[in-house]
Each structure stands twice: as C-alpha cells, then as structure tokens.
Amino acid sequence: MRIATLTCSDCGTIVSANELESNRVMKCPGLDCEAVLRFADLPEGDRQHVLDNRDQYRL
C-alpha cells in the first residue's frame, strides 16, 4: 500500500499523512524544529488517499 507522507520544509523530517490526518495540525517532531505541519499542506491526491484508506491506516 502506498503511504502518503509530508516532508517538513524546514528540517526534512518525514511525517506520515495519517498522523497528520488525525491531528490536522501538529508541531514538527524534528529536533529543534518549530515548524507547524498541516494536513492541508499535503497535495490533494495524498489527502484523498488518506481519507479513502482510513480504515486500513487505523488497524
């Protein structure tokens, strides 16, 4: 299965899209990084993919 991810533009930390989907807005988990990552920052195709596959992500 394809896993959609978002890469922090500040530090390069990769966050899984399903994690973003459950939080909507989250602080970047990268060390010493204050960037805020939003589900809305994902490309539309990735957002749709996560929403379509919710059940598979939430095992």
Question: Between 34 and 52, whose beta carbon lies closer to Zn ion?
Answer: 34
Question: Between 4 and 28, whose beta carbon lies closer to Zn ion?
Answer: 28
Cα distance from N-terminal residue to C-terminal residue, the chain:
14
Strands (E), the chain: 5-7, 14-16, 25-27, 36-38
Q: How far is the CB of 6 from Zn ion (least distance, A)?
A: 10
| Residue 17 Cα to chain centre, angstroms | 3
Which positions lie near Zn ion, rule CB under 5 A?
8, 10-11, 13, 28, 30, 33, 35
Question: Between 14 and 51, whose beta carbon lies closer to Zn ion?
Answer: 14
